[in-house]
Amino acid sequence: MVTQLTCAVVQAQSAQPAAPKDSEIVARILGDGKGKLSVAVTDNKAGEWEWNAKEQTWYFQRGYLVKRSANMPDFPNAVLEVGGLAVYRYVNGQWVHSKDLVTFNRYHGLPQPDNDTLLTIVKSAPDRAFRTDWHLVEGGIKEMSIPTTPAFKWHNAKSFSFPVRVSYKLRWDNVHTVDCTREWDVRVYRMPDGNWGNPSGMHARAITACKT
């Protein structure tokens, strides 16, 4: 009996249904088209299936991109690109839209400072850029750079974040120090004079072990 039940569960999981059609996903997101310049599913990716054992059904998610006018008088050609995931649930032999998850916003056509300028901004206020570490840093910054292919994320037209990889000697107790490298997500803001500044470290991930 146990073997039969196990086989039944395995059989249910292996009965993966065909994915929703890309054309149907695009048509649903496009709607009446108002405010949208284009809608497309992500290239070179077919989507992902997930079996929900508790619900005994399949979920499917497909990445998409929506482009809209940024509606910014100072930058009439600026475009807002929204990336997301369309999530579907398989119910009674058909896919039912469950929800849409926004994964990022990017602006195109807005002036953006170059990497050297961004690093200068970060160096001007390391206590804010590396806020939870800086009071434990000894000897200042050893190395700092922006990755070759940075993941810039626009939060709105006046603020975006970017990764900064930084190395310093970190005091992690009253006795020990350790060479530490982290990649911080730093957010900057457009100031009233049009320049960028006010860096703020949002979170960090360890590149090397920062404890001994």
- Residue 124 is part of a domain; what is its CATH number? 3.10.450
Q: Taking all residues of the chain, what is their mean pLDDT, rounded to a whole number?
A: 90
**Domain assignment of residue 187, given as a range:** 115-206
Query: Using one digit for the tens of pLDDT, what is the confidence trace for 164-209?
Result: 999 999 998 888 899 999 999 999 999 998 899 999 998 899 999 8
Question: Which residues lie below 8 Å from residue 50, measured CB to CB, with a gap of 6+?
Answer: 58, 59, 60, 61
One domain for residues 49 and 8? yes
172 shares its domain with 75: no
Total domain count, the chain:
2
- On whether residue 85 sits in a domain, the answer given is yes
Contacts of 25 (CB under 8 A, 6+ apart): 41, 62, 64, 86
User: Could you tell me if 161 and 69 lie in one domain?
Assistant: no
Distance of alpha carbon 156 from the chain centroid: 14
101 in a structural domain: yes
pTM beyond 0.85, yes or no: no
Same domain membership, residue 119 and residue 93: no
**What is d(CA 21, CA 11) in angstroms, rounded to the nearest whole number?**
24
Is 18 or 154 the better-scoring residue by pLDDT? 18
Find tokens 């990497």 and name the residue: 115
One domain, residues 19 and 50: yes
Do residue 53 and residue 120 come from a single domain? no
- Cβ neighbors of 124 (< 8 A, separation 6 or more) are 197, 199
**15 and 36 belong to one structural domain:** yes
Q: Supply 187's token pair.
A: 């957010």
Structural contact between residues 181 and 192, judged by C-beta atoms closer than 8 angstroms: no
104 and 127 share one domain: no
Domain end point (choices 90, 108, 126) = 108
- N- to C-terminal Cα distance for the chain? 53
